[in-house]
Structure 1
Amino acid sequence: MNETLPLLRLAAERTSTLVRSLSDDQLALPTPCSEYDVKELLNHLEWAMSGFESLAGGGGFPPPKEYTGDFPERAERALKAWDRPQAWEGTSEALHGLPMIMIAKMFLVDVVVHAWDLSKSVGRPFEVDDETVAAILAFAEESAPMRKGSAAFGDPVEVPADAPAFDRAVGLLGRDPAWTP
């Protein structure tokens, strides 16, 4: 385990709080992920939590499923799986030999950036602490070459070099920091 686990816990808690506050009438709103509305993005987040839980135990991603509204519970199970020291060891066969620490960073990015997507969709602020921002920006910069052509994130969006670090990170991950519904 390392410094990523406390960041994961905080991110999952903040995202769960945001998800719990959403109402049914917000589920059809657009998101910065052009292929997802709010409900589809929540469905993706639920699926991702099950996947990151499975990966921590040496498994792979489960098949896609329908939205159930249980993101907080899935996030908690995923965190429990990553709370085991062996979850951080070695590589993942399911993800082509990626080191588990890289998968944990992907977990962090997925939770935080999609929470940002949701907050933008519903017009709510979403705060990210400086340590998490630094970790996400570092991941975005370090993983840019391997993400080329990947469907996981969009093509980078041009963001001024003097923009806030989180804006630069979401830009590298294919989001326009100025996006509005």
Structure 2
Amino acid sequence: MDLVDGFERGLDEFGGRVHRVGAEQWASATPCTEWSARDLVGHLTGEHLWAPWLLRGATLDEVGDRFEGDVLGEDPVGAWDSAASASRAAVRAPGARDTPVHTSAGRIPADDYLRQMTLDLAVHAWDLARGIGADDRLDEDLVALCLDYASGQADTWQGLGIFGPPVPVADRASRQDRLVALLGRRP
């Protein structure tokens, strides 16, 4: 699977779960122990509000605090849809993958930024599904893309607070179970 296709599949997977959140479920707990369903959607909505800026080469200082606080407002689904649409367009824009992206860890290649965002979309689609009791099965090609990336990065992420410690799984566990376990979740 091409990286842009994987990113878009991740947007679709997460967005599909956002559209399944019932009015009474926004406060539901998720596997991200400090985040409710609303917090989780707010996290990714904020991330995707930043994406068009960063993919155009903006620095963190140039973006500033414009996406601080509650980015969901009274319409969390609409806020997500708007941010996801802008993020999708930014990734597809000519030259978007040619310029390094400014992040809190320094400048990184745009493709690395897309891999990080795709992984975040996939794992948080699983988290949100678990939090609201929806189907947590992810697209197999997306899982394969994310597992390949995460397998090479997991040791580096330990101690940074990005993900919890890996959870042991059986050798014959599915790719999806291996992915979420690698990222500190219990499949």
- TM above 0.5, yes or no, is yes
Q: How does 1:94-133 map to 2 (within 5 A)?
A: 94=103, 95-133=105-143
Q: How does 1:79-158 map to 2 (within 5 A)?
A: 79-94=88-103, 95-158=105-168
Per-residue deviation, 1:96: 1.3
Kindly report structure 1 stretches of 4+ aligned residues shifted beyond 4 Å: none
Greater shift, 45-54 or 27-36, is seen at 45-54
* 1:173 is the counterpart of 2:177: no
Structure 1 stretches lacking a partner, 5+ long: none
User: How many Å separate the matches in 1 of 2:179 and 2:127?
Assistant: 13
- TM-score computed with the length of structure 2 as normaliser: 0.86
Q: Who is 2:87 aligned against?
A: 78
Gap change, CA 1:93 and 1:122, over 3 Å in 2: closer
Q: What is the total number of aligned residue pairs between the two structures?
A: 176
From 148, 152, 159, the equivalent of 2:169 is 159
Task: State the AA in 2 paired with 1:103.
Answer: Y
Structure 2 stretches lacking a partner, 5+ long: none
Q: Which has the higher contact order (CA 8 A, sep 6+)?
A: 2
User: How many Å separate the matches in 2 of 1:58 and 1:160?
Assistant: 43
Q: Who is 1:30 aligned against?
A: 29
Q: Who is 2:44 aligned against?
A: 45
User: How many Å separate the matches in 2 of 1:163 and 1:62?
Assistant: 43
Contact 1:148-1:155 within 8 A present in 2 as well: yes
Per-residue deviation, 1:90: 4.1
- TM-score computed with the length of structure 1 as normaliser: 0.88
Q: Deviations over 1:119-161 (max 9, x none)?
A: 0111111332222111110111111132121222222222222
Contact 2:55-2:99 within 8 A present in 1 as well: no
Question: Once the two structures are aligned, what percentage of the paired residues are identical?
Answer: 26
User: How many Å separate the matches in 1 of 2:85 and 2:133?
Assistant: 26
